[in-house]
Amino acid sequence: MKATRPILICVLIAAAVIMAIFCVKSVTTPIKFENTRAEREVVVIKHLVDLRTAEVEFHHQKGRFTADADSLLMFLKTAPKKEVLKEGSLTDKQLEAGLTEHKAVKILNEAKKKALKNKKLNFEDNDALYAYIWENDADVKKNGLQGFRRDTIELNMLESLYKGEYDENSINAIVEIPFSQGLRFEMEVNNDYKTSQGIRVPLFEARAPFESYLSDLDKQELVNLIDRENKLEHYPGLKVGDVYSPNNNAGNWE
């Protein structure tokens, strides 16, 4: 009996140590999981925001969204970004008189066409052209458009949208889910959605399920997280947009 006592003590100590380890792990594992999740989701959200920017520009130029990641990337790499440079603005008096931005631009464009058709005139650049029509064109002067200028220019798409953050090679990353070993965002569109008033409103959605960027973390914590979100009727992951209801392309973290 005495011989078994040290063995029993050792067993009890070992059991206590094991229980302590399990207790510590039961506390630290969820904390580690949530901390890692939070760190990763900052990166995933950044990609979703950049992807949303690309889709919005695609829609702006083509009137629809696309679920084809390759087509979206080709658009970003090859399409020009048109922007209007503005100088001057219409006064309240001009607006009250019925002059609109559209009408003012039309008057300027007609004046520029007439000036350029005059073979006796030679303009070094757009500045010289505007200076001439401001000074000499009757319609421009009549409507008080001296100093009013609108020029449409073409810029590099990637530079305009992302301010040099991406180039033609690195832009491929915006369609890939970070920490997923190359999986792409799930993209879906509904270009024929109509409101209750019959107005067509194209919709898009881009998704990153939890399994895609958290799959290498604790499996039970991942299962618990997905189960919790499903019970709350939330999408189990991160996403922007919604193909069933207009939400101004908002993200589910916003």
Contact 136, 114 (CB under 8 A): no
C-alpha torsion sign, points 171, 173, 176, 182: positive
Q: Model-level pTM greater than 0.85? A: no
Torsions phi, psi of 69, nearest 5?
A: -60, -40
pLDDT one-digit tens code per residue, 116-167: 999 889 999 999 999 999 999 999 999 999 999 999 888 899 999 999 899 9
Q: 237, 247, 176: which is closest to 41 by C-alpha?
A: 237
Torsions phi, psi of 194, nearest 5?
A: -125, 140
Torsions phi, psi of 188, nearest 5?
A: -145, 145
Q: 177, 231, 233, 246: which is closest to 207 by C-alpha?
A: 177
C-alpha torsion sign, points 205, 211, 212, 218: positive
pLDDT one-digit tens code per residue, 10-68: 665 666 556 655 555 555 789 999 999 999 999 999 999 999 999 999 999 999 999 99
From the number of C-beta atoms within 10 Å of its C-beta (0-12, 13-18, 19+), residue 219 rates as exposed
